[in-house]
């Protein structure tokens, strides 16, 4: 789950940019300084990834794990230009924290969630860079949650900063959204809901269109009918990694528990989700492919300079 706050003004950001250039300071660091202060953590929640990683009670590989893949690209020619990875997929609260998000991130990135190793080959022709933070505890994984706008994991931030687009996946409970009844997906109330946020309007529009066309209930968090209700789920904060891209905007999807559960044959554990993603009567593939089509739509309007 993510939280929003009014972004820094354009003048504030531009002033920081100019000051950084004048002083020779790192631009990203100056932009971060110009942004609003990090969110106060919920009681009992780690205020940052740094705080979590520094806790001796939380051992990496036992309490939590991190996985990422950055695909190598090379352009050895002087007279041609080659493609580079323009989109990265993030699951900042994967594993047992917000179930299903890490498996879906791997799927969207082009990989089999049950078979991802250093030498594993993708199962889809187009691949995307990805980063996963996963809770590995048998119980109590919610205690590992770090609010997205407080994320300071270096790999997650470097991926965002080096890509034009980020798609960040999150989980929530339907009742947290405060949606009106009956649910917005007629003709019956359906707690499977995807809420699309982030500051990239084109990316949001493509995701809403493709996810809806694939048969899933979906809303734009900035839709005037629901914006007030969904302001804590709209991914608008400027320090949210989905918006720390080269374009300073990106997209995220908040998915209700029921939606995430429906994407697996058995969503009861990390191993079962990984091994039954292809036993959901096509639901996982449909949602995965909808996101990939939306990415392709956005990238098609982003020529390589």
Structure-model confidence comparison of residues 89 and 3, the more confident one: 89
Instruction: Tell me how far apart the alpha carbons of residues 157 and 254 are, in angstroms, rounded to a whole number.
Output: 20
Lowest mean pLDDT among 27-31, 43-47, 238-242: 27-31
pLDDT at 22: 36
Instruction: Tell me how far apart the alpha carbons of residues 201 and 178 are, in angstroms, rounded to a whole number.
Output: 23
pLDDT at 6: 37
What burial class does residue 135 get, using C-beta atoms within 10 Å of its C-beta: 0-12 exposed, 13-18 middle, 19+ buried? buried
DSSP string, 112-145: -TT---TTPPPSSSS--EEEEEEE--SS-GGGG-
Structure-model confidence comparison of residues 166 and 41, the more confident one: 166
Residue 255 reports pLDDT greater than 90: yes
Distance of CA 239 to CAs 5, 12, 118, 275, Å? 10, 14, 30, 34
Residue located via tokens 């734009």: 220
- Give just the sign of the alpha carbon dihedral 143, 147, 148, 149: negative
Residue 4 reports pLDDT greater than 80: no
Neighbour-count burial for 182-197, b at 16+ CB within 10 Å, e otherwise: ebbbeeeebbbbbbbb
Please state the φ and ψ torsions of residue 302, each to the nearest 5 degrees. Answer: -125, 75
Q: Parallel, antiparallel, or unpaired for β 194-197 and 129-135?
A: unpaired
pLDDT at 304: 83
202-213 tens-digit pLDDT:
999 999 999 999
Lowest mean pLDDT among 94-103, 185-194, 251-260: 185-194
85-139 tens-digit pLDDT:
899 999 999 999 999 999 999 999 999 999 999 889 999 999 999 999 999 999 9
Query: Please, what is the Cα angle at 1 between 116 and 107, to 5 degrees?
Result: 25
Residue 38 reports pLDDT greater than 90: no
Please state the φ and ψ torsions of residue 202, each to the nearest 5 degrees. Answer: -65, -40
56-80 tens-digit pLDDT:
999 999 999 999 999 998 989 898 8
Structure-model confidence comparison of residues 29 and 248, the more confident one: 248
Structure-model confidence comparison of residues 251 and 31, the more confident one: 251
Residue 30 reports pLDDT greater than 50: no
Q: Parallel, antiparallel, or unpaired for β 64-69 and 129-135?
A: antiparallel
262-274 tens-digit pLDDT:
999 999 999 999 9
132-181 tens-digit pLDDT:
999 999 999 999 999 999 999 999 999 999 999 999 999 999 989 988 76
Instruction: Tell me how far apart the alpha carbons of residues 6 and 267 are, in angstroms, rounded to a whole number.
Output: 36
Instruction: Tell me how far apart the alpha carbons of residues 296 and 291 are, in angstroms, rounded to a whole number.
Output: 9
The band of 84, judged by pLDDT with boundaries at 50, 70 and 90, is: confident
Q: Do residues 122 and 305 touch, judged by C-beta distance below 8 A?
A: no
pLDDT at 179: 85
Residue located via tokens 């036993």: 279
pLDDT at 184: 58
C-alpha closest to that of 286 among 216, 237, 220: 216
pLDDT at 186: 54
- Give just the sign of the alpha carbon dihedral 168, 171, 177, 181: positive
What burial class does residue 294 get, using C-beta atoms within 10 Å of its C-beta: 0-12 exposed, 13-18 middle, 19+ buried? buried
217-240 tens-digit pLDDT:
999 999 999 999 999 999 999 999
231 Cβ neighbours under 8 A, 6+ residues apart = 4, 221
pLDDT at 3: 41
Q: Could you tell me if residue 44 is left (phi over 0), alpha (psi between -120 and 50 degrees) or otherwise beta?
A: left
Q: Do residues 271 and 103 touch, judged by C-beta distance below 8 A?
A: no
Residue 15 reports pLDDT greater than 60: no
């Amino acid at each position: 789950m993510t939280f929003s706050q009014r972004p820094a003004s354009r003048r504030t950001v531009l002033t920081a940019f100019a000051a950084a250039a004048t002083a020779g300071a790192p631009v990203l660091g100056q932009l971060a300084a110009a942004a609003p202060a990090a969110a106060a953590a919920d009681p009992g929640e780690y205020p940052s990834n740094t705080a979590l990683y520094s806790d001796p009670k939380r051992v990496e590989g036992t309490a939590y794990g991190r996985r990422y893949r950055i695909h190598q690209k090379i352009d050895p020619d002087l007279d041609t230009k080659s493609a580079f990875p323009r989109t990265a997929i993030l699951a900042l609260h994967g594993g047992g924290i917000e179930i299903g998000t890490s498996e879906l991130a791997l799927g969207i990135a082009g990989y089999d969630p049950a078979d991802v190793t250093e030498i594993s080959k993708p199962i889809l022709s187009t691949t995307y860079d990805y980063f996963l933070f996963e809770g590995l505890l048998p119980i109590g994984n919610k205690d590992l949650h770090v609010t997205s706008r407080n994320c300071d994991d270096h790999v997650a931030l470097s991926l965002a900063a080096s890509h034009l687009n980020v798609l960040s996946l999150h989980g929530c409970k339907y009742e947290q959204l405060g949606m009106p009844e009956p649910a917005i997906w007629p003709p019956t109330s359906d707690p499977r809901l995807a809420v699309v946020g982030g500051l990239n309007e084109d990316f949001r529009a493509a995701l809403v269109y493709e996810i809806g066309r694939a048969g899933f209930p979906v809303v734009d968090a900035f839709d005037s009918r629901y914006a007030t209700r969904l302001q804590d789920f709209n991914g608008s904060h400027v320090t949210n990694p989905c918006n720390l891209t080269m374009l300073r905007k990106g997209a995220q999807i908040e998915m209700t528990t029921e939606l995430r559960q429906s994407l697996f044959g058995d969503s009861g554990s990390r191993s079962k989700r990984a091994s039954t993603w292809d036993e959901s009567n096509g639901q996982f593939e449909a949602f995965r492919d909808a996101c990939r089509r939306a990415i392709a739509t956005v990238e098609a309007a982003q020529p390589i300079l």
